[in-house]
């Protein structure tokens, strides 16, 4: 197999050839057809997340076909198309797993962070955490659904049912969530970096009612806001933008420090929560509904060996929507 490997934090990925991995008991091997590039991959490469496995193959938005089954795998077959998400494995016995909150498992394994991911021609996955994808839709367009879509979906559910929804940071996740929210009959208010007129136009093209800079106030108080961007100073900005009883959801795995802010921004029962990881139920719920939503997924394709360029372009905001690596 061929892979783009992070050997040392803060350095580029190295193009590497390895022997094909063999699936162990309960595992599948997937021939990767496409793998999305997520902001979290940047956090892994930059060493912003604790204790990554090194060396590591990043990538947790994998679409591919099963080409080998380990012992004991049931319900999946060779040739079947599956998606492999961020949540790679859970312990199944901790209080969170037993309580239906496997996203908070005490001993999880995360694809592309603590087990090898999809910036490669092949990947191994725990069969129970792979999602059958069926045959509808292209591999490249499906890949961003595996994290941007799934985490976006979980964030949207946790944001509640309010009609006026703010999205801070209009990248891969927000460009999907905006369409989901519109499909649900909500109004979307998109906040980009100040002056990012192209991003604001992109948001409006996807149905946003209003788009502006994150330093602007929306034309009406919001029922809820989801922050996908990594700047902690968006937290007080979003709290200012939501109505009494409104909710602000931090959807990213990493954020810069949140500046101190006056208590009156939280007062009147505003809520500030974070979203961590996903459960398999999130994936099943979202992937079942997604085909009905008419989602238009904007992707920029890169050959696998240009993974470093894709990461650099993501960091610099040089494309709209999602980057996807194709082996
Ligand atoms: Zn657990
Ligand atoms: Zn991700």
Looking at all shown ligands, the one closest to residue 104's CA atom is 1
Residue 198, SS3 per DSSP: helix
Q: How far, CA to CA in Å, does 36 sit from each of 198, 250, 300?
A: 22, 21, 10
pLDDT value of residue 126: 98
Rounded CA-CA distance 4/7 in Å is 10
* Token pair listed for 176: 């999907």
Q: Which ligand is nearest to the CA of 90?
A: 1
User: Is the C-alpha dihedral spanning 169, 137, 300, 67 positive or negative?
Assistant: positive
Residue 296 pLDDT: 96
Query: CA torsion, points 280, 286, 289, 290, in degrees to nearest 10?
Result: -130
- 264 Cα to the center of ligand 2, angstroms: 33
The tens digit of pLDDT for each residue in 178-212 reads: 999 999 999 999 999 999 999 999 999 999 999 99
- For residue 167, report the phi and psi dihedrals to the nearest 5 degrees: -125, 120
Which ligand is closest in space to the CA of residue 49?
A: 2
- β 164-168/187-192 pair status: parallel
222 CA distance to ligand 2 middle (Å): 26
Residues of the chain short of pLDDT 50, as ranges, are: none
Q: Which ligand is nearest to the CA of 87?
A: 2
Q: What is the largest CA-CA distance in the chain?
A: 59
DSSP string for 261-302: --GGGTTTT-EEEE--S--HHHHHHHHHHGGGTT----EEEE
Centroid of ligand 2 to alpha carbon of 17 (angstroms): 25
Ligand closest in space to the Cα of 253: 2
User: What is the predicted pLDDT for the residue at 276?
Assistant: 97
As residues whose CB is below 5 A from the ion ligand 2, the structure lists 38, 40, 147
Q: Identify the DSSP state of 93.
A: -
The Å distance, Cα 74 to ligand 2 centre, comes to 27
Burial class (CB in 10 A: 0-12, 13-18, 19+), 66: buried
How long is the chain? 327
Q: Locate all alpha helices (DSSP H) within 99-147, ordered by sequence.
A: 139-142
* pLDDT given at position 177: 98
CA of 177 to the centre of ligand 2 (A): 14
Given this model, what pLDDT does residue 57 score? 98
How many Å apart are CA 85 and CA 63, to the nearest integer?
9
How much distance in Å is there from the Cα of 104 to the middle of ligand 1? 7
Give the number of the ligand closest to the Cα of residue 276: 2
Distance from residue 36's CA to the centre of ligand 1 (Å):
26
Please provide residue 276's backbone torsions phi and psi, each rounded to the nearest 5 degrees: -120, 120
Reply yes or no: is the peptide bond before residue 55 cis, omega within 30 of 0. Answer: yes
Express each pLDDT in 46-63 by its tens digit: 999 999 999 999 999 999
The C-alpha atoms of residue 217 and residue 237 are separated, in whole angstroms, by: 9
Taking the C-alpha atoms of residue 43 and residue 51, their distance in angstroms, rounded to an integer, is: 12
Nearest Cα to 163, choosing from 246, 244, 229, 286? 246
Confidence (pLDDT) at 32: 98
Question: What distance in Å separates the CA atoms of residue 22 and residue 248, rounded to the nearest whole number?
Answer: 43
């Amino acid at each position: 197999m061929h892979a783009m490997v992070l050997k040392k934090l803060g350095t580029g990925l190295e193009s590497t050839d390895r022997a094909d991995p063999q699936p162990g008991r309960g595992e599948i091997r997937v021939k990767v057809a496409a793998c999305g590039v997520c902001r979290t991959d940047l956090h892994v490469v930059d060493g912003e997340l604790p204790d990554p496995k090194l060396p590591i193959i990043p990538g947790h938005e994998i679409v591919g076909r099963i080409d080998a089954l380990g012992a004991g795998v049931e319900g999946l077959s060779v040739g079947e198309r599956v998606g492999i998400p961020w949540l790679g494995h859970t312990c199944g016995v901790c209080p969170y797993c037993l309580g239906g909150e496997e996203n908070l498992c005490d001993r999880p394994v995360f694809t592309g962070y603590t087990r090898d991911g999809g910036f490669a021609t092949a990947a191994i996955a725990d069969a129970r955490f792979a999602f059958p994808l069926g045959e509808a839709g292209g591999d490249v367009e499906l890949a961003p659904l595996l994290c941007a879509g799934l985490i976006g979906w979980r964030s949207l559910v946790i944001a509640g049912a309010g009609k006026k929804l703010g999205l801070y940071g209009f990248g891969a996740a927000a460009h999907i969530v905006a369409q989901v929210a519109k499909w649900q009959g909500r109004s979307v208010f998109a906040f980009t970096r100040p002056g990012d007129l192209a991003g604001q136009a992109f948001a409006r093209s996807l149905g946003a009612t209003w788009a502006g800079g994150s330093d602007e106030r929306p034309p009406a108080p919001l029922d809820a806001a989801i922050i996908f961007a990594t700047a902690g100073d968006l937290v007080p900005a979003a709290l200012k933008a939501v109505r009494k009883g409104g909710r602000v959801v931090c959807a990213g795995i990493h954020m810069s420090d949140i500046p101190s802010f006056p208590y009156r921004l939280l007062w009147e029962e505003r809520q500030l929560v974070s979203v961590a990881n996903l459960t398999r139920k999130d994936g099943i719920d979202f992937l079942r509904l997604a085909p009905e939503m008419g989602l238009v997924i904007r992707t920029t394709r890169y050959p696998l060996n240009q993974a470093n360029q894709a990461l650099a372009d993501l960091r610099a905001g040089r494309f709209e929507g999602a980057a996807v690596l194709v082996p």
